[in-house]
Amino acid sequence: MAYVTKQGLIDRFGEQELIELTDRENIPVSTVDDVVVGRAIDDASAFADGYLKKVLRLPLSVVPPVLEKTVADIARYYLYGKAADKDSPVTRAFNEATAFLRDVSRGLVELGNGAETPVAAGGGQVKVSAPGRVFTRDSLKGF
Protein backbone atom coordinates (compact mmCIF):
# COMPACT_ATOMS: atom_id res chain seq x y z
CA MET A 1 0.00 0.00 0.00
CA ALA A 2 1.35 3.42 -0.93
CA TYR A 3 1.26 5.82 2.01
CA VAL A 4 1.93 8.95 -0.02
CA THR A 5 1.04 10.11 -3.52
CA LYS A 6 2.88 12.01 -6.21
CA GLN A 7 0.77 15.06 -5.34
CA GLY A 8 1.70 14.59 -1.69
CA LEU A 9 5.38 14.76 -2.63
CA ILE A 10 4.77 17.85 -4.76
CA ASP A 11 2.90 19.53 -1.88
CA ARG A 12 5.71 18.79 0.56
CA PHE A 13 8.82 19.35 -1.53
CA GLY A 14 7.69 21.38 -4.54
CA GLU A 15 7.17 20.43 -8.14
CA GLN A 16 10.49 21.89 -9.30
CA GLU A 17 12.47 19.64 -6.98
CA LEU A 18 10.62 16.55 -8.25
CA ILE A 19 11.19 17.62 -11.85
CA GLU A 20 14.92 17.97 -11.20
CA LEU A 21 15.09 14.60 -9.45
CA THR A 22 13.02 12.56 -11.91
CA ASP A 23 13.22 13.98 -15.44
CA ARG A 24 15.94 11.98 -17.15
CA GLU A 25 14.70 12.54 -20.70
CA ASN A 26 14.42 16.26 -21.34
CA ILE A 27 17.13 18.89 -21.44
CA PRO A 28 16.36 21.22 -19.79
CA VAL A 29 14.28 19.20 -17.36
CA SER A 30 10.60 20.02 -17.62
CA THR A 31 8.30 17.28 -16.30
CA VAL A 32 7.90 14.96 -13.34
CA ASP A 33 8.50 11.36 -14.44
CA ASP A 34 5.60 9.38 -12.97
CA VAL A 35 7.44 6.05 -13.29
CA VAL A 36 10.43 7.24 -11.26
CA VAL A 37 8.22 8.86 -8.61
CA GLY A 38 6.00 5.77 -8.43
CA ARG A 39 8.98 3.49 -7.95
CA ALA A 40 10.36 5.66 -5.13
CA ILE A 41 6.94 5.74 -3.43
CA ASP A 42 6.53 1.97 -3.75
CA ASP A 43 10.03 1.33 -2.40
CA ALA A 44 9.51 3.72 0.52
CA SER A 45 6.11 2.18 1.33
CA ALA A 46 7.58 -1.33 1.26
CA PHE A 47 10.38 -0.15 3.54
CA ALA A 48 7.80 1.21 6.01
CA ASP A 49 5.70 -1.98 5.77
CA GLY A 50 8.71 -3.99 6.89
CA TYR A 51 8.62 -2.16 10.21
CA LEU A 52 4.85 -1.75 10.52
CA LYS A 53 3.80 -5.34 9.93
CA LYS A 54 5.41 -6.35 13.23
CA VAL A 55 2.88 -4.35 15.22
CA LEU A 56 -0.04 -3.43 12.93
CA ARG A 57 -2.54 -5.17 10.72
CA LEU A 58 -1.85 -4.12 7.12
CA PRO A 59 -3.15 -2.57 4.95
CA LEU A 60 -4.19 0.36 7.12
CA SER A 61 -7.74 1.62 6.67
CA VAL A 62 -6.59 5.24 7.11
CA VAL A 63 -3.05 6.53 6.65
CA PRO A 64 -2.04 8.64 9.65
CA PRO A 65 -0.46 11.99 8.64
CA VAL A 66 2.76 11.18 10.49
CA LEU A 67 3.16 8.02 8.39
CA GLU A 68 2.52 9.96 5.19
CA LYS A 69 5.29 12.41 6.13
CA THR A 70 7.64 9.60 7.11
CA VAL A 71 7.20 7.75 3.83
CA ALA A 72 7.48 11.01 1.88
CA ASP A 73 10.87 11.70 3.50
CA ILE A 74 12.04 8.18 2.64
CA ALA A 75 10.82 8.46 -0.96
CA ARG A 76 12.59 11.82 -1.32
CA TYR A 77 15.82 10.26 -0.05
CA TYR A 78 15.44 7.45 -2.60
CA LEU A 79 14.91 10.01 -5.36
CA TYR A 80 18.09 11.83 -4.38
CA GLY A 81 20.08 8.59 -4.41
CA LYS A 82 23.83 9.16 -4.24
CA ALA A 83 23.36 12.92 -4.49
CA ALA A 84 22.21 13.01 -0.84
CA ASP A 85 25.37 13.39 1.21
CA LYS A 86 25.50 12.33 4.83
CA ASP A 87 25.10 15.86 6.22
CA SER A 88 22.23 17.00 4.00
CA PRO A 89 18.74 17.76 5.33
CA VAL A 90 17.41 14.99 3.08
CA THR A 91 19.64 12.40 4.75
CA ARG A 92 18.78 13.72 8.22
CA ALA A 93 15.05 13.45 7.42
CA PHE A 94 15.59 9.88 6.16
CA ASN A 95 17.45 8.91 9.35
CA GLU A 96 14.70 10.45 11.49
CA ALA A 97 12.03 8.60 9.49
CA THR A 98 13.88 5.31 9.90
CA ALA A 99 14.27 5.89 13.64
CA PHE A 100 10.56 6.69 13.91
CA LEU A 101 9.60 3.46 12.12
CA ARG A 102 11.99 1.52 14.35
CA ASP A 103 10.27 3.02 17.42
CA VAL A 104 6.86 2.09 16.03
CA SER A 105 7.99 -1.51 15.46
CA ARG A 106 9.29 -1.69 19.04
CA GLY A 107 5.99 -0.42 20.38
CA LEU A 108 7.45 2.82 21.74
CA VAL A 109 5.25 4.96 19.46
CA GLU A 110 1.64 4.38 18.39
CA LEU A 111 0.37 5.59 15.05
CA GLY A 112 -3.35 5.77 15.86
CA ASN A 113 -5.81 7.23 13.30
CA GLY A 114 -6.87 3.99 11.61
CA ALA A 115 -3.88 1.86 12.52
CA GLU A 116 -5.28 -1.38 13.86
CA THR A 117 -3.29 -3.52 16.25
CA PRO A 118 -3.63 -7.23 15.49
CA VAL A 119 -5.79 -9.25 17.84
CA ALA A 120 -3.74 -11.21 20.34
CA ALA A 121 -3.68 -14.94 19.75
CA GLY A 122 -5.52 -17.23 22.12
CA GLY A 123 -7.32 -15.56 24.96
CA GLY A 124 -8.86 -18.79 26.25
CA GLN A 125 -7.94 -21.09 29.09
CA VAL A 126 -5.52 -23.99 29.07
CA LYS A 127 -7.14 -27.42 29.33
CA VAL A 128 -5.02 -30.42 30.26
CA SER A 129 -6.08 -34.02 30.07
CA ALA A 130 -4.03 -37.10 30.91
CA PRO A 131 -4.69 -40.78 31.57
CA GLY A 132 -5.19 -41.97 35.15
CA ARG A 133 -2.20 -42.75 37.35
CA VAL A 134 -0.64 -46.21 37.03
CA PHE A 135 1.21 -46.17 40.30
CA THR A 136 -0.65 -45.01 43.36
CA ARG A 137 -0.07 -45.37 47.10
CA ASP A 138 -2.55 -48.23 47.20
CA SER A 139 -1.13 -50.15 44.20
CA LEU A 140 2.40 -50.01 45.64
CA LYS A 141 1.37 -51.02 49.19
CA GLY A 142 3.22 -54.35 49.26
CA PHE A 143 6.51 -53.27 47.75
Q: What is the DSSP string of 73-99?
A: HHHHHHHHGGGS-TTSHHHHHHHHHHH
What is the pLDDT confidence band of residue 42, given thresholds at 50, 70 and 90? very high
What is the pLDDT confidence band of residue 110, given thresholds at 50, 70 and 90? confident
Total number of domains constituting the chain: 1
> Tell me, what's the pLDDT at 39?
96
> How confident is the model over 25-44, as a mean pLDDT?
89
Q: Is residue 51 part of a domain?
A: yes
Closest to 117 (Cα-Cα) out of 63, 54, 44, 50: 54
Question: Which structural domain range is residue 55 located in?
Answer: 6-106
> Tell me, what's the pLDDT at 30?
83
> How confident is the model over 95-106, as a mean pLDDT?
95
pLDDT at 27 over 80: no
Q: Is residue 36 part of a domain?
A: yes
Q: Is residue 124 part of a domain?
A: no
